[in-house]
């Protein structure tokens, strides 16, 4: 079940440094939302607040609220580990557990959750690898190490690992930045398929990618180095790319800036 995310007046800090200020946005279920904006404007920082990964850094904290349907992720008593299970994440660099086999990589989260049944794990492996578009390439080498795959295959393995625990939201921080154009298109096709089941947020520096895969686009910017990043505008992707409201958005997407 994909879920809606409602962010209200979110400020994000590293100690005293306010990295992101005043973000209010709604992310629709079963859709792809792209975050774009210049380096350092806080896209990754904000993304990590959506599954409580931000606070693993000492001194890091937030003000404001993030709702997942009707659950406040930052309410007292909410278990951040449970939140991260519901809101999965894929990182910029593919990071499979290098010595673990392909199949153990896929089921790492499930086994951590206490699933031991071999048949259940085997089914989850196949289903997740099929979901990530990797099954045909690895079905005969499931016991080989994950590190033995190409970069694009490793990224799809990480996606399989993320979807194996059946999250409701999938956060992806520049998932294609280390990949060649063919692997990039494979991941983009995959994202389009995954949105039938998940709420997807993707950070990207690739404007074509944002316009190809996303339904909504959010443009972030910062006034100057050391100032907090802000959400400038968010709208249908077509509108952001063809007819944005803010001049800063137009300058950025047309390459005049950033």
Ligand X SMILES: Nc1ncnc2c1ncn2[C@@H]1O[C@H](COP(=O)(O)OP(=O)(O)OP(=O)(O)O)[C@@H](O)[C@H]1O
Count of residues engaged in binding ligand X, rule: CB under 6 A: 11
Q: Least distance to ligand X from the beta carbon of 59, Å?
A: 8
Among residues 39 and 76, whose Cβ is nearest to ligand X?
A: 39
Which one, 44 or 101, has the nearer CB to Mg ion? 44
CB nearer to Mg ion: give 36 or 134: 36
- Cα separation, 139 vs 130, in Å, equals 10
User: Shortest gap between Cβ of 54 and Mg ion (angstroms)?
Assistant: 12
* 221 part of the interface to ligand X, by CB under 6 A: no
Q: What's the min distance (Å) between Cβ of 40 and ligand X?
A: 4
Give least dist CB 64 to ligand X, A.
16
Residue nearer to ligand X on the CB measure, 165 or 187: 187
Q: Backbone phi, then psi, for 72, in 5-degree steps?
A: -80, 110
257 touches, from ligand X, Mg ion, none (C-beta below 5 to 8 Å by class): none
Task: Determine the interface stretch with Mg ion among 9-17, 39-47, 71-79, 233-241 (rule: CB under 5 A).
Answer: 39-47
Looking at the Cβ atoms of 44 and 186, the one nearer to Mg ion is 44
Give the chain as a DSSP string. ----EEEEEEEEEETTEEEEEEEEEEE-TTSEEEEE--TTSSHHHHHHHTTT-GGGSTTEEEEEEEEETTEETTSTT--HHHHHHHEEEE-SS----TTSBHHHHHHHHHHHTT---HHHHHHHHHHHHHHTT-HHHHTT-TTSBGGGS-HHHHHHHHHHHHHHT--SEEEEESTTTTS-HHHHHHHHHHHHHHTTTSEEEEE-S-HHHHHHH-SEEEEEEESSTTSPEEEEEEEEHHHHHHS-SSHHHHHHHTTS--
Exposed, middle or buried by CB within 10 Å (0-12, 13-18, 19+), for 223? exposed
Q: How many CB atoms lie within 10 A of CB 221?
A: 22
The interface mask with ligand X, positions 6-45, x = CB under 6 A, is --------x--x-x-------------------xxxxxxx
44 binds Mg ion (CB under 5 A): yes
CB closer to ligand X out of 60 and 159: 60
Question: Which of 18-26, 43-51, 103-111, 113-121 is the region at the interface with Mg ion (rule: CB under 5 A)?
Answer: 43-51
Contacting ligand X within 48-87 (CB under 6 A): 57
Beta carbon of residue 211, minimum distance to Mg ion (angstroms, whole number)? 19
Give the number of other Cβ atoms within 10 Å of residue 63's Cβ: 13
Q: Of 139 and 205, which has the nearer Cβ to Mg ion?
A: 205
In a 3-state reduction of DSSP, which class is residue 53?
coil
Q: Write down the least CB distance from residue 140 to Mg ion, Å.
A: 36
Q: Which residue ranges make up the site for Mg ion (CB under 5 A)?
A: 44
Q: Which residue ranges make up the site for ligand X (CB under 6 A)?
A: 14, 17, 19, 39-45, 57
């Amino acid at each position: 079940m994909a879920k809606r995310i409602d962010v209200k007046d979110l400020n994000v800090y590293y100690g005293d440094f306010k990295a992101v200020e005043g973000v209010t946005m709604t992310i629709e279920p079963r859709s792809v939302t792209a975050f774009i904006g210049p380096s350092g404007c806080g896209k990754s920082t904000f993304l990590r607040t959506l599954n409580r990964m931000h606070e693993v850094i000492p001194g890091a904290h937030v003000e404001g609220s993030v709702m997942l349907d009707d659950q406040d992720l930052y309410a007292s008593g909410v278990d951040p580990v449970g939140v991260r299970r519901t809101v999965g994440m894929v990182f910029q660099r593919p990071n499979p557990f290098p010595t673990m086999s392909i199949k153990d990589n896929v089921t790492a989260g499930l086994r951590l959750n206490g699933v031991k049944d071999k048949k259940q794990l085997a089914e989850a492996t196949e289903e997740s690898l099929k979901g990530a578009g990797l099954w045909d390439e690895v079905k005969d080498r499931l016991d080989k190490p994950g590190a033995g795959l190409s970069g694009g295959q490793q990224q799809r393995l990480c996606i399989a690992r993320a979807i194996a625990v059946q999250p409701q939201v999938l956060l992806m921080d520049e998932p294609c930045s280390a990949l060649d154009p063919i692997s990039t298109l494979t991941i983009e096709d995959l994202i389009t398929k995954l949105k039938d089941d998940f709420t997807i947020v993707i950070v990207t520096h690739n404007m074509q990618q944002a316009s190809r895969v996303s339904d909504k686009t959010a443009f972030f910017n910062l006034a100057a180095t050391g100032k907090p990043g802000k959400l400038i505008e968010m709208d249908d992707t077509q509108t952001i790319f063809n007819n944005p409201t803010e001049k800063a958005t137009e300058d950025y997407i047309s390459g005049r800036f950033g």
